[in-house]
Amino acid sequence: MSNAGSIRGGQTRAGWLFVLPTLVVLGLFLAVPVVMALWVSFTDWNGRGSPFASGVGFVGTDNYRELFGEQGGLTRADFMTSLRNNFYYVLLVVPLQTVFALFLALVLNQQMLKAVGFFRTAFYFPSVVSSVAISLVFLFLFSGGGVVNSMLETIGVDGPTWFNDSRGLLHVVGDGLGLWNAADPPSALAGGGLLGLTWWQWLSGPSVALSVIIMLVVWTTTGTFMLMFIAALQDLPVEVEEAARIDGAGRWGVFRNVTLPHLRPTMLLVTTLGLIGTWQVFDQVYVMTQGGPSKTTLTPAFLSYFYAFENQKWGVAAAMAFILFLIIFASATLQRWLFRDKDAIELKRQERRTKKARARAVAGGAA
């Protein structure tokens, strides 16, 4: 045993030597910045010199309290506005891009389809073009007198001034249905509130301007996720599908009971990547709207950048980043739990139960 241990000890050393470069690089570019940022979020560092220097004051959880506490004032209102916007953004983007990606993948996976290569490239194309370039194109498409509004005009619709329109969609829809008057919100909603925003503000829905960004992002990311679905679909043996057909399953039955369960791991991957990406949205906001109109496209990532680099409020900005991390971590965990394989868990539980029962039976027999 000791002999084997020493041989393996040598191997371990060599192994460490091999992974050392990666560890150093990861530590330097991942662990160190994270630790530094975490430290900054507990200080009043003003961006000058090292955050570890002696002059930098430790302020405990002040920066976090500014984001959630009464004393936060404008900072809290800004942060909550950005969380609200991003929440509606995630709520729309993740399901939309997943459904579209799955739909396109199913279409492209059909054996009958000709020119699959062409369509695959066409659908994937938006994903490989720089997001800045696409953002600029969308700015022109959706300007007040742009292509989109001209097309709407031909069918008699007077389009909004997209990027200048700060009205919330839920406000507009409620107004249209006669639930409320958006110009004079019901006092039950406008009077009370939570964390610096009124209920009326929380319930605004995405603004028209944010909806354009949502459309853009769904359009650009669908291609990437489509590729993942296609790869998973090609893994599914045709025989399994045929067997199901022979057993009498219809098209829908095959999709529901064979294809979808097979796609579960990919679905988890796609929705998790989507969730993380959408909570971190930055480029489109930075290029197109800078948070306007009326802060309705403000997102935590952009707000953090704005507070840090343009206003030297590094501590609060770092605190925002960590709250965002916690939100992403929590929602990804929740998602894993929702997507857990219930059958497999049940199977394991049963196995354990039978094992125990058998052990007891053996013990009983011996006695």
Partner 1 sequence: MSTTSSRTPRYRRASLAALAVSTSLALAACGGGFEDDGSSEPASSGDGPVELQVLIASSGDAETQAVEDAAAAWAEESGNEVEVVVANDIAQQLSQGFAGGNPPDVFYVDAGVFGDYAEAGNLYPYLDQMEDADDFYPNLVETFTLDDQAYCAPKDFSTLALQINTAAWKKAGLTDADIPTTWDELQTVADKLTTPQQAGLVLGLGRDRVGAFLVQNGGFWVDSETGEATATEPSNVEALEYVQGLLDSGSAVLAPDVDAGWGGEAFGTQKAAMTIEGNWIRGAMSNDYPDVDYTVAELPEGPAGKGTLLFTQCWGISADSEDQEAAVSLVESMTSPEQQLANAEAFGVMPSRESAQADYVEQFPEDAPFIAGGEYGQGPVNLPGLGPVLADLDSQLEQIARADATEILESFQKNAEAELQ
User: Whose structure tokens read 């994903």?
Assistant: 127
Nearer to partner 1, 126 or 292 (CB): 292
| Distance (Å) of CA 183 to CA 2, 84, 207, 295, 311 | 81, 21, 15, 18, 33
Residue with Cβ nearer partner 1 (143 or 272): 143
Here's the x/- map for partner 1, 163-192, by CB under 8 A: it reads as -x-x--------------------------
The rounded radius of gyration (Å) of the Cα atoms in the chain is 27
Whose CA is closest to 41, among 335, 274, 313, 352?
313
Q: Which of 25/179 has CB closer to partner 1?
A: 25
Q: Does 35 bind partner 1 (CB under 8 A)?
A: yes
The rounded Cα 246 to chain-centroid distance in angstroms is: 40
Whichever of 123 and 305 has its CB closer to partner 1, that residue is 305
Is 141 an interacting residue with respect to partner 1 (CB under 8 A)?
no
Strand, helix or coil for residue 43: strand
- Minimum CB separation of residue 197 from partner 1 in Å reads 13
Does 293 bind partner 1 (CB under 8 A)? Our answer is: yes
Report in angstroms how near the CB of residue 33 gets to partner 1 at its nearest. Answer: 10
Q: Calculate the alpha carbon distances from 347 to 146, 264, 344, 354 in Å.
A: 58, 17, 5, 11
Among 292, 325, 331, 332, binds partner 1 (CB under 8 A): 292
d(Cα 127, Cα 225) in Å, to the nearest integer? 10
Q: Does 147 bind partner 1 (CB under 8 A)?
A: no
Shortest distance (Å) from residue 5 CB to partner 1? 10
Choose which of 185, 306, 319, 320 interacts with partner 1 (CB under 8 A): 306
Residue 299 parent element (H or E): none
Residue from 17, 18, 114, 145 that binds partner 1 (CB under 8 A)?
A: 145
Return the number of the residue (4 or 367) whose C-beta is nearest partner 1.
4
**Which of the ranges 113-121, 161-169, 329-337, 345-353 carries the binding residues for partner 1, by CB under 8 A?**
161-169
Q: What is the dihedral of CA 108, 113, 114, 115, to 10 degrees?
A: -10
Give the residue among 244, 167, 253, 152 at the shortest CA–CA distance from 210.
167
- Identify which of 227, 282, 265, 318 has the alpha carbon closest to the alpha carbon of residue 89: 282
86 CB-contact burial (10 Å; exposed 0-12 / middle 13-18 / buried 19+):
buried
List binders of partner 1 among 312-331 (CB under 8 A). Answer: 312-313
14 binds partner 1 (CB under 8 A): no
> Is residue 295 close enough to count as binding partner 1 by CB under 8 A?
yes
Minimal CA–CA distance to 335: which of 279, 256, 255? 279
Q: Which is nearer to partner 1, 56 or 105 (CB)?
A: 56
Based on the shown chain and the rule CB under 8 A, indicate whether residue 250 belongs to the binding site for partner 1: no
The answer to whether residue 75 forms part of the interface with partner 1 (CB under 8 A) is: yes
Q: Does 47 bind partner 1 (CB under 8 A)?
A: yes
- Using CB under 8 A as the binding rule, whether residue 294 contacts partner 1 is answered as yes
Residues forming beta bridges with residue 194, ordered by sequence position? 197
Binding interface with partner 1 (CB under 8 A): 12, 16, 20, 23-24, 26-28, 31-32, 35-36, 46-53, 73-75, 78, 143-145, 161, 164, 166, 291-295, 306-313
